[in-house]
Amino acid sequence: MANHYNGDALYWGPERLGGLNRVLYQVATLGRTRNRHFGERAGHSSFWGDLCRDRIRYCRNFVFGELNTLKVCPWMPYHDPARPFVNYWYASADGGNCKAFVERVSEQAQDRLEEEGGAAILYTHFAHGYCKNGSLDPQFQQLTRRLSQKNGWFVPVAELLRFLETQGNGQTIPPSDLSAMERRWLWAKLFQGTS
């Protein structure tokens, strides 16, 4: 599951963060995102946290500008006891439109990902700039073709996350590590506009 900016999003807006990170987010956004997301609020008409907990194993939260998602979130999937309606969280790389996707999967980024032995979870919206005048973006075509020729393991996100659980991930994230990841995301959100 991947939250968006809809009213039934779970632990979204300032609820994505804890402690000082939440305060900084609220100050930076002038409180505009407070009381806009209710998925985890029992009794609200948009509440569905119990269904999420019972039926969905993995939920996306933080998005980064690094292709190697496992590098920025080595604990994923991870559990956060402060957000009990989500079983496990995972992060992703920002590819929200064609421009961002092409930046993320540049030849250098692909080679670095391979050298690091990492893993990439990259999201995108194919309706955002991939096709112009009936033609698929040539840079997107070239980079995805190059990526497909690498000796990678190309699987759905849930399969990758299940595999990571077999490797020891899927634990409760240490609070200091969660706070550091929140700060890294908040910095990127404020200065680079990631989601």
pLDDT of residue 164: 97
Residue 5 lies in a domain: no
Residues of the chain with pLDDT under 70: 193-195
Domain of 88? 13-192
Contact 78, 36 (CB under 8 A): no
pLDDT of residue 138: 97
pLDDT of residue 72: 95
Of the candidates 68, 6, 10, 27, the one whose C-alpha atom is nearest the C-alpha of residue 189 is 27
pLDDT of residue 195: 59
Contact 94, 195 (CB under 8 A): yes
Q: What is the pTM of this model?
A: 0.92
Residue 7 lies in a domain: no
- Number of structural domains in the chain: 1
Residue 161 lies in a domain: yes
Residue 8 lies in a domain: no
SS3 category, 44:
coil
Residues in the chain: 195
Residue 17 lies in a domain: yes
